[in-house]
């Protein structure tokens, strides 16, 4: 049963790093399935048998159940089985030589200490988001002497 309007997802072969595929749907934007072309070339038959149905199953689960389900939960696993694929969440492709993105860290502080937030969270804060410390519950704010990134991880 498909509960949402079936917008055909955009398909792109622009994913880099160690991820084989990704399904994304942002508010107000068309759904998108992204694939890693390097892993497709390295492992064509396994990629077509596992990664393509994996991401299509995410799309079908979104259409049927919306955002309120676990990404690799029972609904997704059921769809994977219906597509004739093993409902595994991770691939086992050789990723030798593929690198992952390295995020900058920014220093924020609260009552109990300093915290290194990723550039993703830092930019969300610049756009109005707020974060609180899990230990003391105090809002995190930029460190007084922090002029830029704290380094990379």
pLDDT, one tens digit per residue, over 68-119 is: 899 999 999 999 999 999 999 889 888 888 877 678 899 999 999 999 999 9
Residue 94 domain-assigned (yes or no) = no
Task: Answer yes or no: 55 catalytic.
Answer: yes
Same domain, 77 and 21: yes
Residue that the structure tokens 């704290």 belong to = 150
Same domain, 67 and 114: no
pLDDT computed for residue 110 by the predictor: 92
List CB contacts of 93: < 8 A, sequence separation 6 or more. 20, 39, 42, 43, 46, 47
Same domain, 123 and 64: no
Total count of domains within the chain: 2
The H-assigned helical ranges of 92-146 are: 119-126
Sort strands 104-109 and 141-142 into parallel, antiparallel or unpaired.
antiparallel
The rounded distance, in Å, linking the Cα atoms of 101 and 68 is 28
Domain that holds residue 142: 104-152
Active-site hit among 30, 46, 55, 152: 55
Question: What is the average pLDDT value for the chain, to the nearest integer?
Answer: 87
Domain edge (last residue) among 31, 52, 82: 82
Residue 128 domain-assigned (yes or no) = yes
Q: Record the pTM.
A: 0.66
Residue 99 domain-assigned (yes or no) = no
Q: Do 70 and 48 meet the contact criterion of CB atoms below 8 Å apart?
A: no
């Amino acid at each position: 049963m498909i509960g949402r309007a079936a917008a055909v997802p955009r398909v792109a072969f622009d994913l880099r790093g160690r991820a084989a595929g990704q399904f994304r749907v942002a508010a107000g934007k068309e759904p998108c399935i992204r694939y890693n072309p390097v892993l497709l070339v390295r492992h064509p038959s396994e990629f077509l048998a596992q990664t393509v149905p994996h991401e299509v199953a995410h799309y079908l689960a979104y259409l049927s159940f919306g955002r309120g389900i676990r990404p690799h939960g029972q609904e997704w696993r059921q769809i994977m089985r219906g597509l004739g694929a093993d409902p595994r969440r991770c691939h086992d492709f050789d990723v030798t030589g593929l690198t992952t993105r390295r995020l900058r860290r920014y220093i924020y502080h609260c009552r109990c200490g300093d915290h290194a937030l990723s550039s993703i969270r830092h930019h969300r804060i610049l756009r109005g988001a707020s974060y609180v410390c899990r230990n003391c519950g105090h809002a995190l704010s930029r460190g007084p002497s922090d002029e830029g990134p704290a380094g990379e991880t």
